A and B are shown apart, each in its own frame.
Chain A
């Protein structure tokens, strides 16, 4: 069975600081990996996805994530936080194209002025 662990249910950074949100997965086969963002009272929207073409994946709004198979990690980063980045972020994994997504518990990012 697949599982996803997001370390830190809440992360607080200052505006302009580096954002690092951690995601580790357990999977018996190379997985498909996704990061989603959820703004208050809204649905989830895709930030980026791992396609296996490149280990460093760039997404929307300046976010990127690096797939590290040896560490079974897919951490999300952004060099400089903006107030508008405050939201909840979810890492998700699926075993294949049509299989269900398994989500981590989410990390709420707070950005201080």
Chain B
């Protein structure tokens, strides 16, 4: 009963380094999302995908990239990390069925120093 799994849980990056945040779901959901959470700002959508091979930008995509080669996986790539990318990142997935909720992973806490 895994749901949405994110790895790693914590990471410290140096400015200019790159990394990939992993996200996988086992519910066969078509829709997957990446959000970042900053204190007092709620959750902001970075990228989303409506199915394998299809991705689109959300509200705050700059500095990030995604791919969706399978239904299960939706990795988020940070190139040239900057302090402004210090945040908590959440992956979520959702069925295309009417009025269903999104299921969230436990989050990745990233610090860029």
Contacts and interface: CB of A to CB of B under 8 A. Distances in A.
Interface of A: 4, 6, 9, 32, 34, 36, 41-46, 49, 51-52, 90, 96-98, 100-106
Tell me the dominant secondary structure on chain A's binding face: loop
B105 A43 contact: yes
Contacts of A96: 98
A44 B44 CA distance: 14
Tell me the dominant secondary structure on chain B's binding face: loop
6 contacts: A34-B102, A43-B90, A90-B42, A96-B98, A98-B96, A105-B40
A68 to B, nearest CB: 18
A97 B99 contact: yes
B45 A97 contact: no
A101 B102 contact: yes
A105 B37 CA distance: 10
Given A98-B96, A100-B33, A100-B58, A90 B43 contact: yes
Contacts of A103: 35, 42-44
Contact of B40 (A9, A36, A41, A44): A9
Interface of B: 4, 30-31, 33, 35, 40-45, 48, 50, 58, 90, 92, 94-102, 104-107
Contacts of B99: 32, 49, 51-52, 97
Given A43-B105, A49-B101, A98-B94, A105 B41 contact: yes
B40 A43 contact: no
Contacts of A44: 43, 90, 92, 104
A101 B45 CA distance: 8
The 6 A-B residue pairs with the shortest CB-CB distance in the complex, in nearest-first order: A43-B104, A105-B42, A103-B42, A103-B43, A97-B98, A44-B104
Nearest to A10: B40
A25 B97 CA distance: 22
A104 B104 contact: no
B25 to A, nearest CB: 12
Contacts of B94: 98
